[in-house]
Structure 1
């Protein structure tokens, strides 16, 4: 896999060693490649956090599975940011920053599909990105060993599978589904919300267990949420105000 790095420097660290973050830049509008450049909400958010914390850093596009493995090891990469939902299961292997983004999974189908909710997916072919909360949710609904549940390396492949009629639906985070629908108006796609089966979840910056970095970035995240920097970045990418009060209430 070709690794693409984005490097930036904090303004207060006086030349300390760079912190390396891994990401999976295939998750527009959160993190993705645009004309060879890494961009997206997570990328700009992380930049604001690290500047506030005064830490030099770089972001490397490693892919999802490599990110999870390497951050858990805590050697080459000291953190990961890639729309990573905070879950009790992952907390067994990782530490997280405080939450910085509220999300929820959605269902994406083609127009005319009989699917109206997650319950309708039990006997359908569904694509998800492997090792995500969408994978966990659909494993519970369809069965972990169900051959109709296709686990793809990334959401781009899952979406292509839907386009090519290889599956009946894709389940992915709201930001990814809405962005794809917005950018592909001619493909006649329908995004379905199902809060009964898909609850809100929160993203955090992924850290190795016992990471000293948490004590530095948590106050920086809180500060940029409180001073309006977060809202500016959020509105740029999503065109609406974030619920920062609700975000700051999360632990």
Structure 2
């Protein structure tokens, strides 16, 4: 092998080492970014939601995600000095999206429950709600107990689903579980269910926006008050503390009441 070829091989070898070193450096930077992502130090946070739950979170005519929850998060973000970007993830995929770090946190009328707290962290409550029953006008259903031998539509894996399972049994075929609350109401209107159960804010908003549909809302003390919180990946305490700081500030300055129309208890 002559000197010319030896020099060429040596140059190629050095080039390969440079590329490998660059790749190693890129991997280190990626690790640092991942670490920052969990620390709550990011200046822009990705927020997951299920935009099918008017008036809390829904798509407007221009394709924007809007609603009471969205206004609350934007107010919180302003107080803690970060930007937010909302992604319409859907209800069922929302939980793994938070757990896997695909979004920084979630807002979607998520009731704080002991079961959910086993896998996620929640902020202080920012909204109080309760389940109500929606039936066609003239229905013989007048209370929660009247649902026991009826077909009941709910949004799957929501607290509405849970309370109906408590009433009818976890595997009762009379529970019609749908992907969204509007679909649950449609199942009732189409005659596939006798009633629908969901959060009061959503059901009331539906009735208000559909005045030509003859419906009746039934409240019952059987349904306990529920508290919504922002849902964060388990152990992300820095982000949790920041969000709680923002929630506390909008409670104190009156912005939360301005958005929701009532004081938090």
Is the structural similarity TM-score above 0.5?
yes
Report TM bin, short chain: 0.7 to 0.9
Q: 1:106 aligns with which of 99, 122, 132?
A: 132
Structure with the higher fraction of residues in helix conformation: 2
Give deviations 1:173-224, integer Å, cap 9, x for gaps: 00001001111111110000011x1000100001110112101110110111
Q: Any conservation in 1 of the 2:141–2:147 contact (CA below 8 Å)? A: yes
- Which residue matches 1:80? 106
Q: What secondary structure sits across from 1:187 in the alignment? A: coil
Matched residues in 1 for 2:66 and 2:142: separation? 33
Q: What secondary structure sits across from 1:151 in the alignment? A: strand
Matched residues in 2 for 1:173 and 1:158: separation? 12
Question: Which entry has the higher C-alpha Rg, 1 or 2?
Answer: 2
- Which residue matches 1:38? 65
- Pairwise CA distance, 1:243: 2.6
Q: 1:135 aligns with which of 150, 154, 161?
A: 161
- Which residue matches 2:233? 208
1:243 aligns with 2:242: no
Matched residues in 1 for 2:245 and 2:64: separation? 29
Q: Any conservation in 2 of the 1:48–1:229 contact (CA below 8 Å)? A: yes
1:23 aligns with 2:38: no
Q: What secondary structure sits across from 1:57 in the alignment? A: strand
- Which residue matches 1:233? 259
Q: Any conservation in 2 of the 1:109–1:189 contact (CA below 8 Å)? A: yes
Matched residues in 1 for 2:251 and 2:75: separation? 10
- When structure 1 is superposed on structure 2, of 167-176 and 48-57 the one drifting more is 48-57
Q: Any conservation in 1 of the 2:257–2:263 contact (CA below 8 Å)? A: no
- Pairwise CA distance, 1:72: 2.1
- Pairwise CA distance, 1:43: 0.4
TM-score with structure 1 setting the length = 0.87
Gaps of 5+ in 2: 1-40
Q: What secondary structure sits across from 2:172 in the alignment? A: coil
Q: What secondary structure sits across from 2:76 in the alignment? A: helix
Gaps of 5+ in 1: 1-14, 236-241, 247-251
Q: Any conservation in 2 of the 1:97–1:217 contact (CA below 8 Å)? A: yes
Matched residues in 2 for 1:125 and 1:50: separation? 42
